[in-house]
Every structure is written in structure tokens, then in C-alpha cells.
Chain A
Amino acid sequence: MRHDRWTGYLLIAPAFLALFGVIGYPLIRAFLMSLHEIILTDPGLGQPYVGLANYVASITNPLFAGALWRSAVWTGVNLVIQMVLGLAIALVLNEPFPWRGLARGITLIPWVTPSVVSVLTWRWMYDAQFGVINAALVGLGIVSQPVVWLGNTQTALWAVIGESIWKGTPFVAIMLLAALQAVPNELYDVAKVDGANAWKRLTHITLPLILPTLIIAATLTTIFTFNNFNAIWLMTQGGPLHATETLTILVYNQAFVAFDMGQATAIGMITFFILLVFVAIFGRYYIKSELNL
């Protein structure tokens, strides 16, 4: 039956080739580019091999440390708030109440809104002259002068994070809601009989049972947020004065504003390896949970 194995390989070959074409080739090509000096605006330069010089230049570039830090803040704050809010919303939506179906549908609206529409709407809401947020803050007397949310180096990153939380939380909520629905009601009934209060039921029944989904949601949110380009680019283009320049934006700026493809791909590769760590955690956890079951 040896030929059966070859049939198997043959059958997955198209899928493998397709995957290699869209993932393997660009990855290898990006890696090779990161070892050369490629300045698009200076074609006379050729594309000399420079070894790891692009990596050294990237890491010593003062913009890199700033972007790395902002990527961490951007991803970390988004992750924590989206998970907490998402869980809270999922718990509420899991309780029976009138119009629950409608409430579940409305929850999804931010997530299904096209990114461009959502970002441009938020940009108007943040506007210092016409924005509803400033109108509310000034009207309530919280601030005396409108805050230029997106034009201020202190507030721009937080303003962009605000939009991202609004947009990303429903995804977490819906994933967790699905997990909550799979928790058998009998467990809660038994716990109630044993005298467990609501908090105990949450920490001893709900959370352990939805943990696998919680971890998947957290990993996906991390990767998605870390790589998010449009939310920031459409709102601030990384400005003002690099205040919202994450690694993703830095890669774009190096590639298509400075036209330094070598450094851009070097930073891209570094970003790739940072994300690989998260994927490794995800994969390890998955294999483990598969074996346990």
C-alpha cells in the first residue's frame, strides 16, 4: 500500500503549492531583500548585498525603539480592554432578556462596519471644531477648550486606540458568547445547589470552560491589532511627529515614503519574528489541548 502515501502527497500538493506561492515565496523574497540595500529612488545604486546592515540600521534607528514601544502599548491596551469588555458583553448577552436577539445583532455592527467608514466617522467625532466628542466634553464642562485629539502628540495614540477598541470588541464578544452557550446549564444548577455564588460560578465554571476560546480570541486579537494598518494610517498616517507610528506604519513609511526597501523589509522581518512568538504560544497551547481531549 506504499503508493497510497504518494497519492496523499499528490492530493495535498495543489494546496501546498498555493500556500507556498502566497506565503513562502513573499517571505523568502522579503528576507532576501532585507539583506540588500534597495533604494527605489536611487536606481543607479543597484542592489548591493549588505548582509545584516539593514537590521543594524533598523534597530539603531531612533524611530524603531519608539515604534516598538508604541506597538506594545497599542497592542497591549487594545488586548486588555477588548478582552475585558468583550467578556462583559458576552456575559450580558448570554443572560435571557427581552430583545436579546436584537441586542446580539446590534453588538456586531462595529465589527461589520467597513474599516474606512468607521475610521473616517471617528475622525470627525474627534475633530476639534465640529466633533461630537468635544461638543459633549465642552457642553458638560469637563474641558473648557476643545481637545485636538488627533493633532496632539499626547492624545493621538489614545484616540486611535479608542476607535480600535470600538471596532474590535464585538469580535471577542461574539466568540466568547459562542463558547458560553456551549457551557452546560446543569453545571450551574449543581453549583447553585452547592451554594456557589455568582462570582464563584464565574471563576470556577464559566472561565475554566471558556478558557480555550478565551486564549484563541486573545491570540487572534493580538495578531490582528499588532498588524492593523488602516485604523492608524487612515486616521493620522502615524503622525503627528510619529506619535502614532507603530512598527506596521514604520514599515510602510520606510518602504513607500522613504523608498528604502532594504530597511523596510528588515523591520518587516523583525515584526514577523515578534508575531511568530505569539503564534508559537498559540500553537503549543492548541497541540496540548488537542492531546488532552
Chain B
Amino acid sequence: MIKKVLFPVSVIVIAAMLLASCAPAATQAPPTSTTAPSSPTTASVSPTSAPAATTAPTSAPAATAAATSAPAPSSGSPVTLQVWIYDSFTQPGAPIFAAVDQFQKDNPDIKIQLVPTTYGSTSYLNKYITAFQGGSGPDVLMSDVAWMPELAAMGALMQVDSQASSDIKNFYPGPVQTVTYNGHLYGLPFYTNDVGMFYNKTAFQNAGLTPPADGWTWADFIKDAKALTKGNMYGFGFEGGYGGTFEWYPWFWQNGGQLLNADGTSVAFNSPAGLEATKTFLGLTTTDKVVPPAAMTWKSWDELAAAFSSGVIAMFESGDYAIAPVKKANPSFQWGIAPLPMNKQKATVVGGADWAINANSKNAAAAYRWIQYITGPSVLNLMDGYDRLAARVGNTDQAIVKSDPNMQVLVSALQDSQARPSNPQWTNIDYNCLEPAFQKVLLQGADVTTAMNEAATCGNQKLAKK
């Protein structure tokens, strides 16, 4: 009797489990799976936009679409904009909520619906690409500067040349580069950052070392890191879960390396200068042993900040975004930020975020008003609330820059900052060629030259595909 019930039940259970193996197909099919319309007035997600997935969206009509849809909001109910934002920007009481309130007060015809989304290449970038290709996705998104070229090349972002022509003058040239692809504008810059060396002042003092200062060299750094590595403390740490590619960029540029050749048709990172920099950087782990083995699984700034604050590592490379986590951990020692050590030249890596509009958005005009506002004059104030530096001219007047010497170090290093290539394949090369190569060296003791040449072959294949 029990068996007779059990049989059909287990058949259904098994069928459901089998179905899980085809999950990607199943979840990919419904285009609105990641973004459910929240209110009847929402015009942002429309099933009729689904066919866009199969055709190449051209960015040219963007300006005209914006122009024609401009009068629409004045009549009828307000439009709701779905806005993707890093989840770290929407903690309870975060400054963004006051900004949204102010914007809605000034623009009664627009409602902002923030959709906090976990930052990360799979959790944010890939999720957006999937939603976009399914014909949906948010109206507006905050995007890492590193993702912009790939998204623009894919046609996933709306071109804003005509609307942004005057606004764009309010931003520094570096950040403007990050919203520019093939000579066209695809958004407005939000904030910018570079990387410095967080260091444990007390540990330096206890070891009898001179604290790092502008102009210190690789040799100084390695000597200090070795001296700091004793007991339970290691001299340095990085995001080993990603092979440390992000922390490697400054070392590469400090040694005068070029990531791509002049016309962007092949990679150049396995040049002698590049190999030397890579050997030095990865050697910190493999030969100098100043990096804790535990670092090989670290994948977030929170983990690094935790390791730093608990005295596991005495130094790590990071930007202003790590200031808040370290402050929050309330370390029992004095700490500060120094410029990165230099070799042939000084260099640091520029990062940050931009605001962009989904090429599928039906509310382009309203969407532009939001990104214009959120990157407008009030952004200086907003960014103070996040301990970050706005990309807008005038950011040196931000309260946080004036009051925080660590911030001043990072701001003055901006002049030595370099950007990752705006080639749409670069993120792909970083994640799928360089990262595995570094991990082979770090985890399996592979030879740096061999691994980098493999990465170069891999990178050239990706460049040739496009």
C-alpha cells in the first residue's frame, strides 16, 4: 500500500531532479525571470521586447528614441525606473535613499525602484547580460568601469552622445574614457578610485622599519614584507582566489609593461618587462613566502580587510572602498595608506563605477534624467557619505578628501593611474587567461614564463575571435 503511493511520488521527485540538470535552458527561456514587474504602472519590463534578444540591437536610434519619448511622462501616471545598484550601496540608512527621495521630489513623474544586486562578475555582470539578452533587465544600471567596454560592444547599453554632450564636460578625462567606446558615449561616470598600500603602522614600528612613503621601491617593499613576516603575521596579502590579477596590474605598469599592442590586435603582457613584473609579484607568494597560504581562497575586499584588521597580514593593495571595512573592523593597531612601491616608474590601477542605460529600456528620457541627477553636483556630497571619490570635477573639495590624509594619498596617486584596456575582450582575457595562468603558478608551481606564454596564446585567440 505504501509502495503504491511511494512509486508515483518518487517518479515525480526523480523527474523534478532530472529537470534540474536542464536548469540553464529552463531558466533562460522566460525572459522576465530575474526582474518581476513590481507595480501595474511599471512600463520598464515589457514582454513585447523579447524579440530583441535574437536581433542585434543597434545603438543609433537611442537619441531619437529618447527625443520622441520625452513628452510621454507629462501625461498619465509616473514611469517607474528599475535601477540596478551594487548591494553595498544600499545598506540601511545609506545616502542613496535620501538622494532617491530628493530626485522623486524634483521629478514627480518618475519613480525610482532600486534593485540592490550583489557586486561580482557572475552575480552582477553576467546576470545583467542574461537579462538583457532575454529582452528585459533594469532601465538603468550602475556598472564597474571594467565591464563597460564589453557591454557597449554587445549593444547592451544605450548610446547617449546627444544628451550627454554638455554634461560630460563636468568629469575628469580618465573617467570619461571609461564611458566611451568607439568614440561614442554610453553613460556618465559615477565615482573613481585607484589603489594604494594599506599598512599596519604599529607592526612597522615594532619591527623597527621606516614607514612606507612616496617613492619607496620594490626592493624596499620586499625587504619590509620579509621583516614583517614572523609569528602569525605575514607581510602581504591579496585576492588569491582570483590569482591576484587585479593587484598585479600596478606591478606590471610600474615595470613599463603594455597589456595590448598599439592597435589592440594582440596581447603584449608576456614581454620581458611583463614577465619580470609577474615573476616579482607572484614570487612574493612562491619564493619570498610573505603571503599567507590562506590568501589563495580570498575573493573579496572584506576578507582582506578582515585579515588585515586581525593582524594576519601587515599590508595589502586596495582602494578607498576598503577604508570603510577596515574602519568597521576597528583594528587594535594604527594603520594608514601609502602610495604603491615603484620600480621603473610609479603606477596604480584606476577603477570605479559608471551609470548607464539599458538599450532595451522603454524609458530612455526618464532614465537619462536619473543618471544626470545621480552624477550631478550633489554627487560630491553623496560620495562623502560612502567614503569615496566622485568622478566629477570638484572632487578635491569633497569633505572626505580634506579631512582624511589616507584619502589625500589616494587622490594624489591618481596622476600615476592607468586604466585597463577598453577592449571588449579584456575582461574575458583577465578572467579566463591571466587568472588561470596565475593560479597555475601559485597553486601548482608552474613556471611563470610558460604560464604567461600560454595566457598570451589564450588572449590572442580571444582577440582574434572578434
Given A23-B15, A279-B18, A30 contacting B26 (CB threshold 8 A): yes
What sequence of 0s and 1s flags, for each residue 82-100 of chain B, a beta carbon within 8 Å of any chain A beta carbon? 0000000000000000000
Most chain B beta-carbon neighbours within 10 Å: one of A42, A152, A220, A240? A240
- Let me know if A256 is at the binding interface, CB within 8 A: yes
| A27 proximity list for chain B (CB < 8 A) | 19, 22
Query: Bound state CA distance, A261 and B16, in angstroms?
Result: 21
Taking the closest CB of chain B, its distance from the CB of A33, in whole angstroms, is 6
List which A65-87 residues lie within 8 A (CB) of chain B.
none
**CB within 8 Å of B: which of A235-293?**
237, 239-241, 248, 251-252, 255-257, 259, 261, 264-265, 268-269, 271-272, 275-276, 279, 282-283, 286, 289-290, 293
Closest residue on chain A to residue B234 by CB atoms? A129
Partner of B126, one of A42, A151, A257, A282: A257
The complex places the Cα of A255 from the Cα of B126 at a distance, in Å, of 10
Q: With A241-B439, A265-B24 as known contacts, state yes or no: A148 contacts B296, CB within 8 Å.
A: yes
Mark the stretch among B6-14, B168-176, B381-389, B409-417 that contacts chain A.
B6-14
Q: Is B325 an interface residue (CB 8 A)?
A: no
Q: Is the CB of A241 within 8 A of B7?
A: no
A43 within 8 A of B: yes
Q: Which of B11, B56, B122, B307 contacts A256 (CB 8 A)?
A: B122
* Residue pair B17, A223 in contact (C-beta under 8 Å): yes
Q: Is the CB of A275 within 8 A of B18?
A: yes
A40 touches B25 (CB 8 A): no
Hey, which chain A residues are within 8 Å of B29, CB to CB? 26, 29
Query: Is the contact region of chain B dominated by helix, strand, or loop, or is it mixed?
Result: helix
Q: Which residue of B lies closest to A289 (CB)?
A: B3
Residue A128 at the chain B interface, CB threshold 8 Å: yes
Bound: A230/B440 CA distance, A: 25
A151 pairs with B241, CB closer than 8 A: yes
Residues of B within 8 A of A44 (CB): 56
CA distance A27 to B26 in the complex (A): 8
Q: What's the nearest-Cβ distance from chain B to residue A2, in Å?
A: 26
**Inter-chain contacts of A9 with B (CB < 8 A):** none
Contact call A256/B126, Cβ cutoff below 8 A:
yes
Which of A40, A46, A229 gathers the greatest number of chain B CB atoms within 10 Å? A40
- Cβ-closest chain B residue relative to A45: B56
How distant is the Cα of A271 from the Cα of B150 in the complex, in angstroms? Answer: 31
Interface size class of B (residues with CB under 8 A): 35 or more
Q: Does B339 contact A (CB under 8 A)?
A: no
Encode A112-152 as 1/0 by CB contact (under 8 A) with B.
00000000000000011100000000000000011010111
Chain B residues with CB under 8 A of A268: 21-25
Tally of contact residues, A, Cβ under 8 A: 61
Query: A47 at the A/B interface (Cβ < 8 Å)?
Result: yes
Instruction: Decide yes or no: A152 and B130 within 8 Å by CB, A43-B57, A268-B24, A272-B21 being known contacts.
Output: no
Residue contact B25 to A30, C-beta cutoff 8 Å: yes
- Residues facing B in A126-182 (CB within 8 A) are 127-129, 145-146, 148, 150-153
Judge whether B21 and A248 touch: CB under 8 Å.
Answer: yes
When the two chains form the complex, which single residue of A47, A272, A283 contacts B54, counting CB atoms closer than 8 Å? Answer: A47
Q: Is there contact, CB below 8 Å, between B22 and A265? A: yes
A33 to B27, CA, bound (A): 13
Residue in chain B with minimal CB distance to A286: B7
Given A40-B129, A216-B10: A223 and B24 within 8 A (CB)?
A: no
Please judge, given known A-B contacts A26-B25, A29-B25, A272-B21, whether A127 and B122 are in contact too, CB under 8 Å.
Answer: no
Which of A26, A150, A153 is the most central at the interface, judged by chain B CB atoms within 10 Å of its CB?
Answer: A26
Q: Do A40 and B7 have beta carbons less than 8 Å apart?
A: no
Is B48 part of the binding interface, using a Cβ–Cβ cutoff of 8 Å?
A: no
In the complex, whether B399 has a CB less than 8 A from a CB of chain A is no
Are A227 and B307 in contact, with the CB atoms below 8 A? no
Is A152 a contact partner of B443 (Cβ separation < 8 A)? yes
Q: Is the CB of B130 within 8 A of A151?
A: no
Whether B436 contacts A241 by the Cβ 8 Å rule is yes
Chain B positions 1-54 with a Cβ under 8 Å from a chain A Cβ:
3, 6-7, 10-11, 13-26, 28-29, 53-54
A223 touches B19 (CB 8 A): no
A127-B294, A293-B3 known; A26 vs B55 contact (CB < 8 Å): no
A16 adjacent to chain B (CB < 8 Å)? no
Given pairs A151-B443, A224-B17, 13 additional interface contacts (CB within 8 A): A23-B18, A26-B19, A40-B129, A43-B154, A129-B292, A145-B293, A148-B294, A151-B294, A223-B14, A229-B23, A256-B24, A257-B122, A276-B18
8 shortest interchain CB distances as A-B pairs: A151-B296, A30-B25, A128-B294, A255-B24, A129-B294, A151-B297, A26-B26, A44-B56
Interface residues of B (CB under 8 A from A): 3, 6-7, 10-11, 13-26, 28-29, 53-57, 121-122, 126, 129-130, 133, 150, 154-155, 240-241, 292-294, 296-297, 307, 312, 436, 439-440, 443-444
Residue pairs across A and B with Cβ atoms less than 8 A apart, 12 shown, are A19-B15, A27-B22, A46-B54, A128-B292, A128-B296, A129-B292, A151-B294, A227-B20, A241-B436, A259-B126, A268-B24, A268-B25
Binding site for B on A (CB under 8 A): 19, 22-23, 26-27, 29-30, 33, 40-44, 46-47, 127-129, 145-146, 148, 150-153, 212, 216, 219-220, 223-224, 226-227, 229, 237, 239-241, 248, 251-252, 255-257, 259, 261, 264-265, 268-269, 271-272, 275-276, 279, 282-283, 286, 289-290, 293
